[in-house]
Structure 1
Amino acid sequence: MDKFLNEQCDDPCTGTGMIAELKRDLIPEPTASALADIFKVLGDPTRVKIIYTLLEKELCVHDLTQVLDMGQSAVSHQLRYLRNLRIVKRRKAGKTVFYSLDDEHIEQIFVQMLQHVKHG
């Protein structure tokens, strides 16, 4: 058994008042779940490439298939997943559907994480 599993602080850093305040202000479960889902998106290299590409320019599915060297079905599947999580949005122009990032928050998160990876 790991000796740290049942370890308790002999000299707690924070008082019970602070612990109660932290518990009260803890992120609600639905919000934590939604945030975790967004970060799961970045767990797939194809989705990362799609997001990176859409940082540069709004594109249709056909153009994305060309950039990624993937089939239309696979790209469409990933775009549907990204759309359901509000990572990308679509705009229809005639028969063509164009995809772009949903808002600047997505762009900021992605760029920050990309800079973090490149820095380390």
Structure 2
Amino acid sequence: MDHTLTEPDAAAVAEVMQGLASAARIRILARLLDAPCSVGELAEALGLGQPTVSNHLRLLRHLDLVAGRRDGRSVVYELHDEHVTALLRQVLEHVHHGRA
């Protein structure tokens, strides 16, 4: 299998990886592995301020790692698709395997 990347594809991968280079964003994504939730629920679960969570979600949406859907007056966030879920599970498994 050829894994040669074009410069634009390599830049896109690097942008996603840079977006993942934040413990707070990883914690948000990990929480969304459990179930979709609102900004307020994320903030409470992670002990972060709502503005902080909103800023992180803005970047995660831009990178197509999360998606938001309106539910009445609030927006409920979830992982964008099964690729994001698989990526996050693989990284978590890798980290836990290294510590075993």
TM-score, normalising length from structure 1?
0.77
**Alignment of structure 1 residues 64-103 onto 2, 5 Å:** 64-103=42-81
Aligned residues: 97
Choose between structure 1 and 2 for higher RCO, CA contacts under 8 A separated by at least 6 residues.
2
RMSD: 1.2
Q: Unaligned stretches of 5+ in structure 1?
A: 1-21
Structure 1 ranges of 4+ moved more than 3 A: none
TM-score for the superposition, normalised by structure 2: 0.92
When Rg is computed on C-alpha atoms for both structures, the one with the higher figure is 1
More helix by share: 2
Amino acid of the structure 2 residue aligned with 1:68? L
User: 2:94 matched to which residue of 1?
Assistant: 116
Q: Residue 53 of structure 1: which of 16, 28, 31 is its match?
A: 31
Task: State the distance in 1 between where 2:85 and 2:30 align.
Answer: 9
User: Unmatched 5+ residue regions in structure 2?
Assistant: none
